[in-house]
A and B are shown apart, each in its own frame.
Chain A
Amino acid sequence: MSVTAPDPVSGLPRWSVLGLLPGLNLLAAFAACGLIVLLAGEHPWQAVQVLVGGAFGSAEAVGYTLFYATSFIFTGLAVAVAFQCGLFNIGGEGQALIGGLGVALVCLHLDFLPFLLLLPVAIAAAALFGAAWAFVPAVLQARRGSHIVITTIMFNFIATSIMVYLLVNVMSPAGSMQPETRAFAEHARLPYVHEVAGALGWELPSSPLNVSLILALLCCAGVWLFVWHTRAGYRTRVVGANPAAAVFGGISPGAQVVVAMTLSGALAGCMSLNELMGVQHRLVLEFTGGFGFVGIAVALMGRGHPAGIVPAAVLFGALYQGGAELAFEIPAITRDMVVVIQGLVILFAGALEYMFVPALRPFLVRRAVD
């Protein structure tokens, strides 16, 4: 007696669903943000200028924006892959932390390897550790029906505690009071984009943007191929769309849950490459900075498709970078208000995604018929 929910955008032209609606949602979000800025006694227009300028105003700003976007691409893809299987992976944060542990172990203990050997091993470690951290909740879901949302949240806490223990008691160098490891060797670091560009004779200002962006884009292509062009991806989508049909088709929902979650965990784990091997060059506490959760918003806004996740990740990267600039330039707008603004964007673009559909439908549909 289940009723398929009607698609709220069915019958609307494609350009409006992919371009017009997200654009309007974003405008509405900025309008609401403008009110907040007004309440804080500042000029909204000036705030917009600082925000956009801070995110895109210079090559350096763009570098920072894309650095954040890199992490968001990884975590956004992680959420999207699980979502194709009907799972809400809230554990990107924990999976990234444990992935970071894997990266650190490789970079600290296998640094006798040359960079070209170390890099694939480090990537594999990030993916493997992240996947392992998602594997346990996945098996609990598949075998015991323990809800993945609950277990992955719990696993975030467990991951944090493990990292605190390891960094305080095991991994910090003797005599150090800092909860962090020693720095990675020079050749165990990812080259910055400005370094690579400089070597090619193109001068760029320095920014934390590093070559893991390339890996992130490769992951986008990989996820697209996996989900829409492989048999395993097809099985995953059937389970996500209709588990009863999956059973009918000889597909084991439990097995697909495990596949989708480990893949999701691996993607989340790879986010640590950007932070640790790219910028921090050591394992530190809480390097994930909540980016695992931002991935949920990125995946929602990007409609679970890599082609949507990349622009959504850039948008959130811009909000992070521009927001930091905003808090710095306009003291009346505090760091917390920047979070409010980011929240409003998520609210309008994610949760209120279809708000304008009823109002727009008559115009769009009539145009389509004519």
Chain B
Amino acid sequence: MTTSPTEPVPRTSRSAIPSGDETVTAANGAPAVELRAVDKWFGQVHANRRVDLSVSSGTVHGIVGENGAGKTTLMNILYGFYRADRGQILIAGKPVVFRNSGDAIATRIGMIHQHFMLVETFTAVENAMLGAEGSPLLGPAGRRARRKLAELEREFGLQVPMDVPVGELPVGQQQRVEILKALYRGADILVLDEPTSVLSPREVEGLFRILRTLAGRGKTIILITHKLAEIMAATDRVSVMRSGAVVAHRRTADTTVSEIAELMVGRQIRPASRGVPVEPGRSLLDVDRVTVRDSSGVARVHDVSFSVRAGEIVGIAGVAGNGQSELLEALAGLRPVATGRILVDGEPAVSDSRDRRRRGVAHVPEDRRRSGLVMPFRACESAILGYHHDPRYGRGLRLDWPAVSSDTRGRMETFDVRPANPQQRTAELSGGNQQKLMLAREVERATKVLLVGQPTRGVDLGGVEFIHDRIRSLRDAGKAMLLVSANLDEILDLSDWVMVMAGGRIMGKVPAGRAAERDLGLLMGGVRKSDVPDRAP
């Protein structure tokens, strides 16, 4: 049903790497990318509604919107993954039709996906030349690639180790490899889809510096995100999307966070309320000198002690990879404790997740795609994972699907999962709705303790508000909550106490109200401050 009247761009050979000396800006000063009245349907769903977008060359252009607002669909159209049902794409003023991403690459568009598309066992050089070797012999191709990458590194300040398998690099560097890969293919227009969701705050800063440099040298950057702080920090202009349509274009300098937030959700976001602090009750989770080792025997958590009382939220902050994940898994019974004890409501607990569930400890894992949900399953099948022995889902050996389904429908409605259809395939739900489905499964089961990892990763603004409200009301109902999040704002927003982990140790525990971000930054960097009360209470 494509009604575009334009001629497709001639396809250049896939292996040909453009030399990189002509820029995308046409002589007539046309915008680098222009979308005109783009429409896209998926069945009955109108994913993009008459989207107009114009991105000037040499700028960083942000696209914000909630999950399901159509940002990613729009970019997939631009990258040739989907074809628009109606409308036109112009690159440097010339109409183009992309039949596949190869066409987009040939038109010098590069895309950095949220989940990297790298071969983990390959080095940066091998990843960059993959599919663009340019000759049947790998030796000369490799040397050529290395020279070219070295040039790009110098030009854009994108240092990465060239000869280490990328799987061994930190995620921030893996992302640089992705950017290099796109530049290597001659990209002049770079699309980054939620690039910061996996990065630590320092890595985010580094990324933004790189984006600045790229834009300064004439590259055009399109940054998709739903984090408003990033829009303010990194972009020149911003387009706001809501339910498939672009609702506003702004110069970043002329707008404010609250204006964009309102445009995104179409209503006013109330300021985060800290709620009435509840007097904490007895200690429900005690961690007593716990050390946790990974599968290769390396201690990832060293001699950690703390407790979480009924009616309080303890947040664990820290740069990713400092033992938070291992601690959370050990608390959930998924990882054996090498030394030390974990007590639930005063009783010692063994390393078994079933034992934790019996004791009223529920766990929202950090990574829903990896372990929290089963993507090919129906939503109702994912919604009983871990609780499939619950007698309300059938007697004896049998699973009573009508009962499971109606129970799931109720949970989906309570947690505003859309669509609230228990038969929907889990993978077909958006990220935020998957997260809500997982919370719907766990929250009610947390009769004593709720362990939460990254509760709002990849969740849109409205969803974040909803999830935070749920977590607070659970706290107010007298549960003990432990929160691990890479998002410091979230930790400060929700927690009563903030603990900081660095190098597998707890560097300090401070009341959230008193926690200054600068102090937390120091603690995250592994600096103990003498005036921070250590291991209280």
Report whether chain A binds chain B: yes
Contact B43 A235, beta carbon cutoff 8 Å? no
Which residue of the partner chain B has the closest CB to A3? B115
Task: Using CB atoms, name the residue of chain B closest to A368.
Answer: B43
Pick from B44, B120, B388, B398: contact of A249, CB under 8 Å: B388
- Nearest opposing residue in chain A for B116, CB measure: A1
Stretch at the interface among A129-137, A170-178, A240-248, A346-354: A240-248
1/0 per residue A1-42: CB within 8 Å of B? 111100100010000000000000000000000000000000
- Partner among A3, A230, A248, A366 whose Cβ is within 8 Å of the Cβ of B386: A248
- The answer, among B115, B365, B401, for a CB contact under 8 Å with A248, is B365
A229:B334 contact, CB within 8 angstroms: no
Asked if B397 and A232 sit within 8 Å, CB to CB, the answer is: yes
Q: Please tell me if B357 contacts chain A, counting CB pairs below 8 Å.
A: yes
Q: Contact: B371 with A242, CB < 8 Å?
A: yes
B444 within 8 A of A: no
Q: Is the CB of A248 within 8 A of B388?
A: no
**Which one of A1, A4, A234 contacts B376 once the chains associate, using CB atoms below 8 Å?**
A4
* In the complex, B466 has a CB within 8 A of chain A: no
A368 to B44, CA, bound (A): 10
Rounded to whole Å, the gap between the CB of A340 and the closest CB of chain B is 34
Which A residues are CB-close (under 8 A) to B427? 4
Contact of B354 with A234 in the complex, beta carbons under 8 Å = no
Let me know if A230 and B369 touch, CB within 8 A.
no
Q: A1-B116, A238-B374, A242-B374 are in contact. Are A250 and B399 (CB under 8 A)?
A: no
Interface size of B by Cβ–Cβ distance < 8 Å?
Answer: 37
Structural contact, A241 and B374, CB atoms closer than 8 A: yes
Contact residues, A196-253 vs B (CB, 8 A): 229-235, 237-238, 241-242, 244-245, 247-250
Find chain B residues with CB under 8 A from A242 CB.
371, 374-375
CA distance A7 to B373 in the complex (A): 17
User: What separation, in Å, do the CA atoms of A234 and B384 have in the docked complex?
Assistant: 10
Docked-complex contact A229 and B398, CB < 8 angstroms: yes
Do B401 and A234 touch across chains, with their CB atoms under 8 A apart? Answer: no
Assuming the contacts A244-B370, A248-B365, asked whether A231 and B399 have C-beta atoms less than 8 A apart, the reply is: yes
- Please determine whether B389 and A245 come into contact, CB atoms closer than 8 angstroms: no
Chain A: residues with Cβ within 8 Å of the partner, total of: 26
What is the CA–CA distance of A354 and B401 in the complex, to the nearest angstrom?
30
Knowing A3-B115, A234-B399, A250-B357, the reply to whether A245 touches B120 (Cβ < 8 A) is no
Which residues from A are CB-within-8-Å of B373? 245
Q: Is B399 a contact partner of A229 (Cβ separation < 8 A)?
A: yes
Given contacts A1-B115, A230-B397, A235-B388, contact A250 B352 (CB under 8 A): yes
Chain B hits for A248, CB < 8 A: 334, 353, 363, 365, 371-372, 385-386
**Cross-interface CB contact of B397 among A11, A231, A241, A369, cutoff 8 Å:** A231
How far apart are B524's CB and chain A's nearest CB, in angstroms?
25
Minimum CB–CB distance from A304 to chain B (whole Å) comes to 12
Given A4-B376, A11-B43, A238-B385, A247:B371 Cβ within 8 A? yes
CB of B434 to closest CB in A, whole Å: 12
B381 at the interface (CB under 8 A from A): yes
Please provide the 10 A-B residue pairs with the shortest distance between their CB atoms, ordered closest to farther. A249-B386, A250-B354, A244-B371, A249-B385, A248-B371, A250-B353, A230-B397, A4-B375, A242-B374, A241-B374
- CB<8 Å pairs between A and B, sample of 19: A1-B118, A1-B120, A2-B370, A230-B399, A231-B388, A231-B397, A231-B398, A232-B397, A234-B384, A234-B399, A235-B388, A237-B381, A238-B385, A242-B371, A242-B374, A248-B334, A248-B353, A249-B385, A368-B43
